[in-house]
Amino acid sequence: PGNPIVYAEHCPHDDKPTVLVYGHYDVQPSDPDELWDSPAFEPVVKDGNVYARGASDDKGQSYTHVKAIESFRKTGQEIPVNVKFILEGEEEIGSPNLVPFITEHKDMLECDMVLISDTSMFGKDMPSITYGLRGLAYMEVEVVGPNRDLHSGVYGGAVENPLNVLCEMIAKLKDEDGRIQIPGFYDKVIDLTDAEREASAALPFDEEAYKKSLDIDAVH
C-alpha cells in the first residue's frame, strides 16, 4: 500500500560500519503555483542555487548523498563505510507505511548508524549536525453544545458557547511559561545534560536577525 519505498545498498566491507541514509521524495503541495517564478517541478539553477519543489525538503539532500557515492566510484576510490539507502514517498503525511516496512525488513536494514538528511541548519552559513528534534501530535477535538443555534441575547450567560469552551481548553494546555499542563506529558522526556545546555548557550544566536526574518517584534 502507499507510495513505493526505494532501497539500495553498497556494502563491500565486512569489517567496516554500516550507515543507513534516510530520505523522502514526496513533497508539500506547490500551490499557489502562480507565485513561482518557474514551474515548481522543473528545477532551475539561479546564482548557484536549485529552485524547485523538494530542492531542500528532501530531494536535494537525498540527491547529494547519491552523488557523493557516485563521485567515489567515478574516481576509483572505495567508500570507507558500507552504505544503505532508504527513500520513502509518504513522509509528508506521517509515514504510515514506513514502520511496517522497517519491521518486515529488519535484517536488510541492519546498520550501525542512521543518517537523516531532513533537518535544517542552525544558521544559513552554519552547517549543523542535528541529533534531536521536537515531536508533534495531531488530533481533532469536537465540542458538543446545544441542539441548535442559540440567540446570545436570550441564552447568553446561561448556556456555554462551544467556541468559548474550546478556547478555554486550548488556553489551559500551557501555563504562562509555556510548560504543557497535560498530566504525564513529561514523564518520558529526557532532560538536557549540563554539557548540552552549555553547548546550546554557546551558539551564536542573533535574536534581532531571527525576529527580522520572521517579521515579529518579540520571541517567547
Mean pLDDT of the chain: 93
Residue 105 sits at φ, ψ, to 5 deg, of -125, 40
Residue 49: pLDDT over 80: yes
Pair (70, 143) in one structural domain: no
SS3 content of the chain, % helix, strand, coil (to 5): 25, 15, 55
Please state the domain count of the chain: 2
Structural domain boundaries enclosing 52: 1-118
pLDDT cut 90: percent of the chain above it: 80
Residues facing residue 86 across a β-bridge: 7, 22
Residue 10 maps to a domain: yes
Residue 1: pLDDT over 80: no
Residue 154: pLDDT over 80: yes
Pair (179, 220) in one structural domain: yes
CA 148 and chain centroid, separation: 41
Looking at the annotation, which residues are catalytic? 26, 91
Pair (82, 40) in one structural domain: yes
pLDDT band at 131 (very low <50, low <70, confident <90, very high): confident
Pair (96, 193) in one structural domain: no
CATH number assigned to the domain comprising residue 36? 3.40.630.10
Q: Summarize pLDDT for 61-105 with one digit per residue, the tens.
A: 999 999 999 999 999 999 999 999 999 999 999 999 999 999 999
Residue 127 has what pLDDT? 84
